[in-house]
Amino acid sequence: MSDLLGQVHAAAGPYLESLSARPVQDPDALSLLAELGGPLPASGDPAEVVERLLRIGTAAGTASAGPRFFHFVTGGVTPAALAADWAAALLDQNAFSKISSPFAHEVETVALDWLRQLFGLPASWGGALVASATFANFTSLGCATHWWGFQHGVDTAEDGLTDLPRMPVLSSGYVHASARKALQMLGHGRNSVTVCARDAVGRADLAGMRRHLESLRGAPAVLIANAGEVNAGDFDPVAELADLASEYGCWLHVDGAFGLFAALSPRTEHLVRGIDRADSIAADAHKWLNVPYESGFALVRDQSRLGAAFGMPGAAYLPGPGDPASGYALYGPESSRRARSLPIWATLAAYGRDGHREMVERHLDLARRLAALVDAAPELERLADVPLNIVCFRVAPPGDADLDDLNRRVGAALLRDGRVYAGTTVYDGKVALRPAIVNWRTTEADIDLFVAVVRELAATVGAARS
């Protein structure tokens, strides 16, 4: 065992030191992936297996933990979080309950309390650590579903959705696919969201929402506020949606996968003003908190909602609700659970409120630097303001008649090239790039290189189309 772990330790140093300079993806190394397959071995040499995995992974793996990965709003991993994640694998705790691991339970309790403090939420709020923002949306909207059923006199945890009307869900055009997936898994359907948008971008139509709520004639509904839209980092007006929720007796859920971290800086905290009036909040830790995958969290105003929605049916050998030996498995979708609290606890303990605020503000500065470089380049066009950490722009040389095709080709060329990584999207009907800056390692030099590579590849692609 020590020898095998020694192999990983020996590979870790060179790999981590290479992240600041290596390409995000080495196209030539992808041929190594063929060495992973073949018939299932009858037996093998563990040392050779680990050596092969490390050799292929350090060469062909996507360096998403490095400073030049700007795709998907993917964070890096702080040193304290990485060490704690190794410790989580070493200790191999089942964070099911207090009885399965008092240690993991206490770390999770402290981590959730620190997350509440980080975002300025009251100590009375409850929470659950889950695998992702999708699971955080699932957990939050699961609580909303139980609340909604209760308004109709039905315990949906006991009896499901049978004989109930469809749960009204309203959001702006910024509603994310993960919220729709959560509603899909909860049995409401991905198309249960009524989108109230006042333009093609998706900005919230509050008057339209009000009219729809009036038409429900007092029936309970769920509102989804989006804190950090994925294409340009824009925000729904959370406080105004909280006013609507209060007026019409709605459940307000805030999808703050990465945008919730705007609360950390005085420069951006106004963007999430009103989150303390929500009923539930979903966010990712493996984005802007910079802890390893898989790590998300749901925060809920009323802790009892979690137990009501996700408590397990009785079993003689398991602690049930109210049992002093129970734990967080009764507050979320997973039962046997990895101790994913350890990296969160470690990064918050090591760098604290000030360290994470400084990281967010450094990324705000880098986003503004990127926007300025785009604005200064004659063949680039910024498509949106930059309220947070995403810069939405496209390649737009004068005289090109098909900019959508050009930008699709440039986006594909970026991924093939591998020096930097960013994907395309469609914003206001235009194909665009939308790099997101959330990695603690990213510097001004990485931003400058990104723009230089985009311009270089745009020129190459443009010449090939001529």
Which pair of tokens denotes residue 197?
């948008």
pLDDT band per the 50, 70, 90 thresholds, residue 317: confident
The string of pLDDT tens digits covering residues 66-92 is 999 999 999 999 999 999 999 999 999
The string of pLDDT tens digits covering residues 132-169 is 999 999 999 999 999 999 999 999 999 999 999 999 99
Tokens 């235009």 -> residue: 430
Q: Is the peptide bond before 358 cis (omega within 30 degrees of 0)?
A: no
Instruction: Return the CATH class of domain 83-348.
Output: alpha beta
For every residue of 256-300, DSSP letters joined together read -TTGGGGGGSTTTGGGGTTGGG-SEEEEESSSTT---SS-EEEEE
Whole-number pLDDT of residue 283:
98
Partner residues linked to 193 by β-bridges? 169
Strands across the sheet containing 393-395 = 380-382, 393-395, 430-433, 424-427
CA dist 26 → 150, 317, 419, 420 (Å): 54, 50, 8, 10
Q: Give the mean model confidence (pLDDT) for residues 273-283.
A: 98
Residues 364 and 389: beta-carbon distance below 8 Å? yes
Three-state DSSP at 184 gives: helix
For every residue of 81-121, DSSP letters joined together read HHHHHHHHHHH---TT-TTT-HHHHHHHHHHHHHHHHHTT-
Tokens 């230089």 -> residue: 452
Which pair of tokens denotes residue 290?
């910079």
**First-residue to last-residue Cα distance in the chain:** 59
Element (H, E) at 341: helix 341-376
The string of pLDDT tens digits covering residues 335-354 is 999 999 999 999 999 999 99
Better-scored residue on pLDDT, 462 or 278: 278
Whole-number pLDDT of residue 466:
73
Question: What is the C-alpha separation between 399 and 396, in angstroms, rounded?
Answer: 8
Strands across the sheet containing 169-171 = 126-130, 296-300, 280-284, 251-255, 222-226, 169-171, 193-195
Count other Cβ atoms within 10 Å, centred on residue 313: 8
Pairing outcome for strands 296-300 and 280-284 = antiparallel
The alpha helices in 160-272, defined as continuous H runs, are 177-185, 206-215, 238-248
> Whats the size of the chain, residue-wise?
466
Partner residues linked to 310 by β-bridges? none
Count other Cβ atoms within 10 Å, centred on residue 15: 18
Whole-number pLDDT of residue 52:
97
pTM of the model: 0.96
For every residue of 139-161, DSSP letters joined together read HHHHHHHHHHHHHTT--HHHHTT
CA max distance for the chain: 73
For residue 422, pLDDT over 90 is answered with: yes
For residue 320, pLDDT over 80 is answered with: no
The string of pLDDT tens digits covering residues 186-237 is 999 999 999 999 999 999 999 999 999 999 999 999 999 999 999 999 999 9
For residue 18, pLDDT over 80 is answered with: yes
Count other Cβ atoms within 10 Å, centred on residue 83: 16
The string of pLDDT tens digits covering residues 380-419 is 999 999 999 999 999 999 989 899 999 999 999 999 999 9
Which among 208, 183, 210 has a CA at the least distance from the CA of 196? 208
Answer CATH for 353-465 from 3.10.620.30, 2.60.110.10, 3.90.1150.10, 3.90.180.10: 3.90.1150.10
Whole-number pLDDT of residue 137:
98
Question: What is the C-alpha separation between 86 and 343, in angstroms, rounded?
Answer: 9
Domain chopping of the chain, boundaries: 2-60, 83-348, 353-465
Question: What is the C-alpha separation between 359 and 443, in angstroms, rounded?
Answer: 11
CA dist 182 → 138, 273, 281 (Å): 5, 25, 14
The string of pLDDT tens digits covering residues 254-268 is 999 999 999 999 999
pLDDT band per the 50, 70, 90 thresholds, residue 465: confident
Whole-number pLDDT of residue 323:
80
